[in-house]
Amino acid sequence: MLFRLRTSPVARRIAGALFTLFGVSVAVFLMLRAIPGDQITAAYGVEAAALSEEQREALRSYYGLDQPLFLQYFTWVGAIFTGNLGYSMRSHQSVWDMTALSFPVTLELAVLAVLFALLIGIPVGMLSASRPNALRDWFGQGVGLAGLGIPSFLLATFLLGIAAQSWGFNPNGLGYARPWEDLWLNLQQMLLPSLVLGFAIAAPIMRTTRTAVLEVRSLDFVRTAKAKGVPASRLRWRHVLRNALVPVVTMTGMQFGFLLGGAVIVEQIFSLPGLGRQVLLAMNQQEYSVVQSTVLIIALLFVIVNLLTDLLYRKIDPRVRAE
Amino acid sequence: MIGRKNPAGRKGLSALALISAGALALTACAGGEDTGPGDAPQELVIGLSADVDNLNPWTATHYSSVEILSLIYGTLTELDEGLEVVPGIAEDWEVSEDGLTVTFNLRDGVTFADGTELDADDVVASYESIMDEETGAVSATYLSTVDEIEAVDPLTVELTLSSPDAALPSKLALSSTAILPADVDLEAIQTTPNGTGPFTLENRTPSESLTLASNPDFWDGEPILDRVEYRVIPDEQAVVSALQAGNVQMATFDDPLVAQTIGGTVDVIETPKLDYQVLQINNQAEPLDDVNVRLALACAVDRDEVLESAALGAGEVTGPITSPAFLSDPSDRPCPEPDLDRARDYLAEAGYEDGLTLSIIVMQDGYPSTAVAQTENLQAQLGQIDVTLEIEALESGNYVDRWMAADFELALALNGSQPDPGVSYERYFMAEGSLNSVAGYTSETLEELFVQGREETDEEARAAIYEEVSHELEYEAVWVWLFAPYEYTALADNVSDFTPMANGSVRALRDAYID
């Protein structure tokens, strides 16, 4: 029994993760092929109708579309195990090389967005909780509603337009600069997009913080600490917030999935060559292997972040470890 | 504008000062012609909404790829700003008396980007590859009349045709017939293009940017611009912002509203395109196989209204042929103005006094952005003669599939077009045409006219033949041609000597420069 307790949650988690990845691979494979058209029509448009039968056959075999479905699937999965994620005919790069360029972009965007979200969400949440239903609470709730209610694409387009038109500030129009090429320009280019993404996920973080703080505050140990004369600020930060953080961390981890989805839109509007754009472009070109492998990479990231989130709150909250 | 930029206006000086400032500006302009570019760095940045998808000129079809490839590669002939055929790699050419032999004399000293000299063998090898089914070349059918290609000597190429083809020189101006080295590796040129055009590829980061450098060895002289960077900015609003902030000096739009929001020091040039917006009719099945039903549609449609109300006025009402040299007269049609009474008569004659129901497919997520609105406008118009239009708004992939399979009754389409009307329409309306199954219409009259058009070499006589083609298409109401859309080119005002072309070509970048 002791053995089970120690090893099986980890084993179960890894098995679950593998199953998730398998499911994602099958789902994305089938969904792509359910979309009308194929790589030939995506590449040639209506001109594809003007291709002769021989030309079409030649192209089908070039793109590997003449193979039966299950063979296409196993060729793809088999290649992944040999480290070959596929090749993009559009950019003439392997998916590995494309991802090596695009992943750091999305990672930086996601980290900065989470940073903004925590910087906005936690203080506003605590402010709201400090006096429920008072004016400051309404303000906090208002910020939360705005974050949830304003679509990212609208906020992004608005900020981009205002900044360019009013101040001539449009670093994103200069072509993407990688942090190791020009860090200052890179950070300027990341400012608006990460703010937009961060604002969207600040809302659930703020609301979770508010609820959790209110809940923890009503617990017995807080009353005890207060009775023992712990100063108010120390009580607020060390006792209440620390204990309220578990759901906040969980929520932040969950938002990561949203972040990867939201990144598609924000990267598109701010011309950032990240993972989201990689999927979108490949989708438009119906580059099956690129979409499949990139989606799989995103799913893998999501799984890893969830695992890390689990580990993190075990660290924050000793009770989870005890269970 | 002048007042705002001119300090004299702000200080409130006399009108005289303004006039003399204006005179100065005029002299400056006139002088600019002679002096050309000053010390400004000759680097132009063009905003591109869709990344290049293919750098093989023979198989590329996407507009951004075709545009860039036409700067990197050369063709035997070229089209000038008026879309007239002018010499390219070929200095001149002769057509034999019977029209079956065309001899091209190549320019001496044309070199590829890698330094090797172009000769007749490269031309022969290129055209043979294009005609080879395995290549999947877009232009394969354009060369269908070519029986044999022979390198007579290093600078002479002879094409033997199975039947005369007056449009051949204009076909050989398309970048899909570009000349590549005889020993070309089609995979290698995707990353290292090797052409004879005015620019060479300097650097490409897929989905970010593509930079061209001027070709010092270009046969027509090195372009003034040192560098042209195509920067990928996928979002249309972001392109506007980049133009406003001065990050980008040039971009094209199809939406006049977007183009108008730019303002500042950016000029917007309106160019009528060769492409045309058309209500395509599948003539093969009932009830549309009846010419009277088709004529009813053609008479009921108010093209001006579709253009003005649904398409934001961004175009010109047109007949079948949009090419300037062969332009159809838009009033040469059964009902130059919408005529509902005649439309009802036609319907009655076809036995549909009580109206009928038709379905129409339209692309909901493609170009132009107003396609669905246009269809709704058509729905309202046809409703007046009791023709109920059922709209099927489709995702682009789905639309293309249905369009290619001719699986529709009506389709709202934006079709591409070429300067030569034969090249544009033979593929649709000749039985052997590669898109005839989509158009679903052919007639002896049309077949004869197209053959005459190919055989006739006299420009005026050709124009008369294609006028008849146009007339025939309209009076048989084969399709309902609506309008030719405008393209809007936003250009920073310090870019000089650039003229957009109706076929979307940016050939003028050879002469453009930055003040």
ipTM computed for the complex:
0.77
CB of B190 less than 8 A from some CB of A: yes
Do the Cβ atoms of A119 and A194 come closer than 8 Å? Answer: no
Residue with tokens 């990197």: B72
Q: Give the strand pairing for B276-281 and B266-272.
A: unpaired
Do the Cβ atoms of B88 and B78 come closer than 8 Å? Answer: yes
Buried/exposed code over B101-133 (b: 16+ C-beta within 10 A; e: otherwise): bbbbbbbeebebbeeeebbbebbbbbbebbbee
CB of B96 less than 8 A from some CB of A: no
CB of B237 less than 8 A from some CB of A: yes
Residues near A1 by Cβ (< 8 Å), separated by ≥ 6?
A: none
Task: Please give the single-letter amino acid code of residue A149.
Answer: G
Residue with tokens 């509007």: A269
* Residue B403 to residue B398: CA distance in whole angstroms: 9
Do the Cβ atoms of B15 and B219 come closer than 8 Å? Answer: no
CB of B231 less than 8 A from some CB of A: yes
DSSP characters for A218-230?
TSHHHHHHHHTT-
Do the Cβ atoms of B487 and B255 come closer than 8 Å? Answer: no
Measured between CA atoms, how close is A195 to chain B, in angstroms? Answer: 17
- A55 vs B contacts (CB less than 8 Å): 133-137, 140
- A176 vs B contacts (CB less than 8 Å): 208
DSSP characters for A136-191?
HHHHHHHHHHHHHHS-HHHHHHHHHHHHHHHH---GGGG----TTT-HHHHHHHHH
Q: CB B242 to CB A175 under 8 A?
A: no
Do the Cβ atoms of A197 and A113 come closer than 8 Å? Answer: yes
Measured between CA atoms, how close is B206 to chain A, in angstroms? Answer: 5
Helix intervals (H) in chain A: 2-34, 39-44, 53-62, 69-81, 95-130, 135-149, 152-167, 183-217, 220-227, 232-234, 242-269, 275-284, 288-316, 318-322
β-sheet with B101-106: strand ranges across: B90-95, B101-106, B156-161, B146-153
* Residue B469 to residue A117: CA distance in whole angstroms: 65
What pLDDT score was predicted for residue B262? 86
CA-nearest residue to B263 within chain A is A165
**pLDDT > 90 fraction of chain A, expressed in percent and rounded:** 20
A282-322 tens-digit pLDDT: 888 788 888 999 999 888 888 888 888 877 777 777 666 55
Q: CB A269 to CB B237 under 8 A?
A: yes
Do the Cβ atoms of B223 and B215 come closer than 8 Å? Answer: yes
* Residue B174 to residue B57: CA distance in whole angstroms: 9
Residues near B146 by Cβ (< 8 Å), separated by ≥ 6?
A: B127, B131, B159, B160, B161, B162
- CA nearest neighbour of B356 among B343, B369, B371: B343
- A174 vs B contacts (CB less than 8 Å): 247
Helix (H) or strand (E) holding B95: strand B90-95
For residue A171, cis peptide bond before it (omega within 30 degrees of 0): no
Show pLDDT as tens, one digit a residue, over chain B (515 residues): 333 333 333 333 333 333 333 333 333 444 334 456 667 789 999 999 888 888 999 988 888 889 999 999 999 999 998 899 999 999 999 999 999 999 999 999 999 999 999 999 999 999 999 999 888 888 888 898 899 999 999 999 999 999 999 999 999 999 999 999 999 999 899 999 999 999 999 999 888 899 999 999 999 999 999 999 999 998 888 999 999 888 999 999 888 888 888 888 899 999 989 999 999 999 888 899 999 999 999 999 999 999 998 888 889 999 999 998 899 998 899 999 999 999 999 999 999 988 899 999 998 877 678 899 999 999 999 999 999 999 999 887 788 888 888 899 999 999 988 899 999 999 899 988 888 888 889 899 999 999 999 988 888 999 999 999 999 999 999 999 999 999 999 999 999 999 999 988 999 999 999 98
Helix intervals (H) in B362-482: 371-383, 396-404, 421-429, 436-439, 444-455, 459-475
DSSP characters for B388-416?
EEEEEEE-HHHHHHHHHTT--SEEEEEE-
* Residue A133 to residue A111: CA distance in whole angstroms: 32
Measured between CA atoms, how close is B349 to chain A, in angstroms? Answer: 35
Do the Cβ atoms of A188 and A164 come closer than 8 Å? Answer: no
CB of B188 less than 8 A from some CB of A: no
Please report, in angstroms and rounded to a whole number, the separation of the first and last CA atoms in chain A.
14
B485 phi/psi in degrees, rounded to 5: -75, 155
DSSP A235: I
**pLDDT > 70 fraction of chain A, expressed in percent and rounded:** 95
- B209 vs A contacts (CB less than 8 Å): 175
Which among A49, A62, A176 has the least Cβ separation from residue B438?
A: A49
Mutation choice for A interface testing from B400, B424, B429 by most A CBs within 10 A: B400
Question: How many CB atoms within 10 Å of residue A294?
Answer: 28
Q: Distance from CA of residue B348 to its chain's centroid?
A: 40
Q: Distance from CA of residue B81 to its chain's centroid?
A: 12
Measured between CA atoms, how close is B404 to chain A, in angstroms? Answer: 5
CB of B437 less than 8 A from some CB of A: yes
Give the three-class secondary structure for B500.
coil
* Residue A303 to residue A309: CA distance in whole angstroms: 10
What pLDDT score was predicted for residue B36? 62
Question: How many CB atoms within 10 Å of residue A93?
Answer: 19
- CA nearest neighbour of A243 among A231, A254, A235, A251: A235
Structure tokens belonging to residue B59: 């198989």
Is A1 a residue whose pLDDT tops 50? no
Angle formed at CA B187 by CA B182 and CA B190, multiple of 5 degrees: 100
What pLDDT score was predicted for residue B361? 94
Question: How many CB atoms within 10 Å of residue A148?
Answer: 16
Which among A51, A169, A270 has the least Cβ separation from residue B238?
A: A270
Interface A-B, measured as beta-carbon pairs within 8 A, has a size of 150
Q: CB B240 to CB A161 under 8 A?
A: yes
Q: CB B209 to CB A175 under 8 A?
A: yes
- A281 vs B contacts (CB less than 8 Å): 51, 207
- How many residues would you count in chain B? 515
pTM assigned to the model: 0.82
Task: Please give the single-letter amino acid code of residue B220.
Answer: D
Which among A49, A92, A165 has the least Cβ separation from residue B190?
A: A92
Average pLDDT for residues A112-118, to the nearest whole number? 93
* Residue B451 to residue B440: CA distance in whole angstroms: 19
Do the Cβ atoms of A135 and A129 come closer than 8 Å? Answer: no
Band (pLDDT 50/70/90 cuts) for residue A6 is low
- B400 vs A contacts (CB less than 8 Å): 36-37, 41, 45-46, 48
- A101 vs B contacts (CB less than 8 Å): 205
Give the three-class secondary structure for B195.
coil
Q: CB B404 to CB A49 under 8 A?
A: yes
Mutation choice for A interface testing from B241, B276, B423, B432 by most A CBs within 10 A: B241
- CA nearest neighbour of A270 among A160, A167, A169: A160
Q: CB A164 to CB B244 under 8 A?
A: yes
Averaged pLDDT of chain A:
84
Give the three-class secondary structure for B181.
coil
* Residue A150 to residue B194: CA distance in whole angstroms: 49
Distances in Å between the Cα of B9 and the Cα atoms of B5, B22, B27, B494 are 8, 11, 19, 22
Buried/exposed code over B427-455 (b: 16+ C-beta within 10 A; e: otherwise): bbbbeebbbbebbbbbeeebeebbbbbbb
CA-nearest residue to A173 within chain B is B242
Which residues share a beta bridge with A87?
Answer: A94
Question: How many CB atoms within 10 Å of residue B265?
Answer: 14
CA-nearest residue to A98 within chain B is B206
B82-120 tens-digit pLDDT: 899 999 999 999 999 999 999 999 999 999 999 999 999
* Residue A222 to residue A214: CA distance in whole angstroms: 11
Mutation choice for B interface testing from A271, A278, A279, A290 by most B CBs within 10 A: A271
CA-nearest residue to B53 within chain A is A90
- CA nearest neighbour of A63 among A81, A84, A40, A85: A40
Measured between CA atoms, how close is A308 to chain B, in angstroms? Answer: 32
B35 phi/psi in degrees, rounded to 5: -75, -25
Q: CB A271 to CB B246 under 8 A?
A: no
* Residue B429 to residue B415: CA distance in whole angstroms: 14
Structure tokens belonging to residue B420: 């030569």
- CA nearest neighbour of B42 among B213, B267, B266, B246: B213
Mutation choice for B interface testing from A170, A268, A285 by most B CBs within 10 A: A170
Which residues share a beta bridge with B412?
Answer: B279
Structure tokens belonging to residue A277: 């754009």
